[in-house]
A = this chain, B = another copy of it.
Amino acid sequence: MGIAGSARLGRVTDVVEPLRVGVLGARGRMGVEVCRAVDKAEDLDLVAMIDQGDWLFNASDAGAQVVVDFTTPDVVLDNLHWCIDQGINVVVGTSGFTDERIARVRGWLEKKPEVGVVIAPNFGIGAVLMMEFAERAARYFDSVEIIEQHHPKKVDAPSGTALHTARLIEQARKAAGLGEMPDATTEEMPGARGAEVGGVRVHSVRAAGLVAHQEVLFGAAGELLTIRHDSFDRASFMPGVLLAIREVAKRPGLTLGLAALL
């Protein structure tokens, strides 16, 4: 439902008003996608598109019930503080949330316990499921390695998602009392790209034609289990953003990560 259609009713079955959504960072690459996705969703109403130079009050004036923030680390905290003060629920995709920053958000929420905030580093449902499955499978296999594959313009290796997956696997193996993986290698050569993270090997492939892909390979005697995620497009994050928008008002307080909503 577009801005002009804000008076229209939602799905007839439940006859509820559509949820009123504002977008901060509306002209950024992710913001543009979010505006488009909210606009298309019948149960959501895009009531404010705000970017640099616009007033945050536009969001409250338009009656936004949820604000989505895809801005930058230097302004996101002020945005969050303002929204919480106004009693507006917030979905945050902006990066840079350290433990210290999260503690500050928790502090603001103590005074407004009815407000919901969802902060997620990754809104790709497929990627989040991949990590959940990897964590779940980790205790049942002798070996596990991660192969992440990205376009050659990426500056860091391994990817953040691969590092995070490796740490989840490391913890799950430790919790299950698993020891080191079997490994007889004695002759090695230098120059590979990747890392060893908590005993888990990560391989970083960089090639033209690739976008963003990750494979987690589990092995035990006589069998392999592979979990692979391929992401081709920012569009793949929109179902996760919409899910968070629909859920945030039902979950007062702070929710970290999309996994908690699945």
Contact = CB atoms under 8 A, between A and B. Distances in A.
Choose among A133, A218, A224 the residue with the greatest number of B CB atoms under 10 Å from its CB: A224
A233 to B, nearest CB: 3
Nearest to A158: B189
B207 A219 contact: yes
Given A154-B184, A157-B185, A205-B217, A140 B239 contact: yes
The interface centre, meaning the residue of A129, A144, A229 with most chain B CB atoms within 10 A of its CB, is: A129
A176 to B, nearest CB: 12
A124 B192 contact: no
A125 B154 CA distance: 25
A interface, by DSSP: helix, strand, loop or mixed?
A: mixed
Given A125-B140, A157-B187, A221 B194 contact: no
Contacts of A185: 154-157, 193, 204, 206
Interface stretch (A1-9, A94-102, A208-216): A208-216
Given A130-B225, A193-B201, A210 B206 contact: no
Interface string A124-159: 111101101100110011111101010011111110
A72 interface: no
Given A143-B208, A210-B219, A195 B192 contact: yes
Given A133-B133, A157-B187, A192-B196, A143 B206 contact: yes
